[in-house]
Structure 1
């Protein structure tokens, strides 16, 4: 029997929405997957030819790009940040919708005109995406890389602006920040490793079709 197809799924907010999609695609993880106390990272499913790994969202793209997993579920923000040529994203899953936006303190926004920027200092976990966005507008972006608690950066003088994921805007508001520019709309995608897709198309092709049907 061929090795099982490994699907990388992200911890956190996308996973809750992804589980019903997995079920509709005929994939149900073993009970340990839902056990809050479990430290396991790899899980069997109801299908012997499929197993799941649960990793950080940013790592999903890396595992699949390097062929350690053959399929993955990840936000398009991560794909834009890494821009791996080894990845193929055949299905927009329509879940995890939000946006990557520029935000700044309310009092700065009252005086600010983004069209007049020539240089910005930005705290973000998306330095590549942020630089590309500002370069396209002729603005030099100095990026301070943070992995979380982005809203603290303007409060503590680390940077005057942030680039981060925004859904409701509630977290920004609670920290005295306001969204001033949307860089990209985001949703979760099913991704595949290109080489694996070619070499194991008999296994992976039907799985991709099952996700397409699940989305419909």
Structure 2
């Protein structure tokens, strides 16, 4: 395969449309790329590239092992998967927040500065899709928690006694309110990032750098 040929991994789901729009803006023809297709690999001969569509949580793995030269992935996934890749650019779309939330009747007391006293949550159970992120946040607070990894319905866990709290991603907070949960601590904000395989970044530096700079201009 040509030295300047790029394999670009894009995430299925809500980030795919924004990812394709960004690539189109910088001159990569993505007209035939669609999640509705059964295809997972889309050759783009004119652009000397191909796009592969993956589950968002798998993209750091595809990039780390060189199955893709570059990928678009949420910072949330990047932190949780902790793969050995190069983070090149904050693409700015796909904004969300990590928060700690609890049932409204069990929230800890407020401190004088207006934040919740999290000390009561030490050694408690936290339901989450992101155990690494949760543990690291509480470690920075000098606390330990017991993560319980779930793949969906995170908000249900404290309502049925599986955990005392959750760590999850929120966009508007509507789902928390519907499940009578209250945000008690922000953790971090996340957006979509451009990442690269370390070997490909050296071997295909000019092509990857050109892609990065073009994307930087439209961010």
TM-score (norm 1): 0.90
Uncovered stretches (5+) of structure 2, i.e. residues with no partner:
110-115
CA distance in structure 2 between the aligned counterparts of 1:201 and 1:118, rounded to whole angstroms: 46
Number of matched pairs: 212
> Could you report, residue by residue, the CA deviation over 1:121-162 in whole angstroms, capped at 9, with x for unpaired residues?
011111111111111212111011112221111122211211
Q: CA deviation at 1:88?
A: 1.1
RMSD of equivalent CA atoms: 1.8
The more displaced of 12-21 and 142-151 is 12-21
Equivalent residue number for residue 81 of structure 2: 82
CA distance in structure 2 between the aligned counterparts of 1:212 and 1:169, rounded to whole angstroms: 30
Partners of 1:28 and 1:46 within 8 A in 2: no
Partners of 1:29 and 1:44 within 8 A in 2: no
CA distance in structure 2 between the aligned counterparts of 1:28 and 1:57, rounded to whole angstroms: 22
TM-score (norm 2): 0.89
SS in 1 for 2:134: helix
CA distance in structure 2 between the aligned counterparts of 1:157 and 1:45, rounded to whole angstroms: 51
Q: CA deviation at 1:205?
A: 1.9
The more displaced of 43-52 and 151-160 is 43-52
> Could you report, residue by residue, the CA deviation over 1:177-202 in whole angstroms, capped at 9, with x for unpaired residues?
12111111111111111111001113
> Could you report, residue by residue, the CA deviation over 1:11-54 in whole angstroms, capped at 9, with x for unpaired residues?
122222222211112123252x3362x22211123634111111
Aligned partner (choices 188, 192, 202) of residue 206 of structure 2: 202
CA distance in structure 1 between the aligned counterparts of 2:40 and 2:91, rounded to whole angstroms: 23
Equivalent residue number for residue 21 of structure 1: 22
Equivalent residue number for residue 9 of structure 1: 10
Uncovered stretches (5+) of structure 1, i.e. residues with no partner:
none
CA distance in structure 2 between the aligned counterparts of 1:57 and 1:41, rounded to whole angstroms: 13
Equivalent residue number for residue 62 of structure 1: 61
Partners of 2:108 and 2:120 within 8 A in 1: no
